[in-house]
Amino acid sequence: MNSARRAVSAARGRKSSVLLARANAVNAKLGIDASVIRKRKLPLYADAQSLVVVEIGKRRRRHRLTPPAARAWKRMKAAAHKDGIGLAIVSAYRGFDRQVAIIRRKIAEGQGIRRILAYSAPPGYSEHHTGCAVDIGTEGCDELEEIFELSAAFAWLRKHASKYGYFMSYPRGNKYGYRYEPWHWMYRKR
């Protein structure tokens, strides 16, 4: 490694240890033990720095992705449309602070941490922080429900999404301990 590269890599290391310290502190406050996160081997993700609005959703929500993930999403959506399949974003980028708010709301509703973490990532650990993850919906199908796997949209994604760099993150029995999420896909091309 040359010295410039070493400097970049050291800076990255510092950045990720700052993020880890912040995530640990916030999660401890929420009652989420660091050992639970370690045990599930959840990767830490920084909030995306560069985002573009890719789609306007329900209640005029502006869904944002990184520029490469957004370009790939648009290409994939157009290809699906040609095949008579409608794809829509239910949720895309969500930052660290938004994730804190989501977990806080669930705690306030009286849900236990174990149940919350089967459905939601601890702050700092959501793929949605990266601006590369999308929750996908399709007309006539309940959002964020397992029944999405029976939709024509899901069948289409299974067959074609990888061509656009999108992959399903949480299949049944996934190693991270999340419930099965057939609607959650992440752009993984570099």
Q: Can you give the binding site for Zn ion, defined by CB under 5 A? A: 135, 184
Q: Which of 7, 36, 9, 12 is nearest to 23 (CA)?
A: 36
User: Which CB atom, from 55 or from 135, has the smaller least distance to Zn ion?
Assistant: 135
Q: In the complex, what is the shortest distance from the CB of residue 128 to Zn ion, in angstroms, rounded to a whole number?
A: 6
Considering the complex, state which of residue 83 and residue 97 has its C-beta at the smaller distance from Zn ion: 97
Q: In whole angstroms, how close is the CB of 153 to Zn ion at the nearest point? A: 15
When the beta carbons of 27 and 137 are compared against Zn ion, the nearer one is: 137
Min separation Cβ 184 and Zn ion, Å:
4
Name 68's bridge partners: none
- Which residue number, 106 or 184, has a Cβ lying nearer to Zn ion? 184
The answer to whether 42 and 48 are in contact (CB under 8 A) is: no
Question: Considering the complex, what minimum distance in angstroms separates the CB of residue 171 from Zn ion?
Answer: 13
Residue with nearest beta carbon to Zn ion: 184
Question: Which residues lie below 8 Å from residue 30, measured CB to CB, with a gap of 6+?
Answer: 100, 103, 104, 107, 113, 122, 123
Contact between 137 and 89 under an 8 Å Cβ cutoff? The reply is yes
Long-range contact pairs involving 49-52 (C-beta distance under 8 Å, separation at least 24): 50/131, 51/93, 51/131
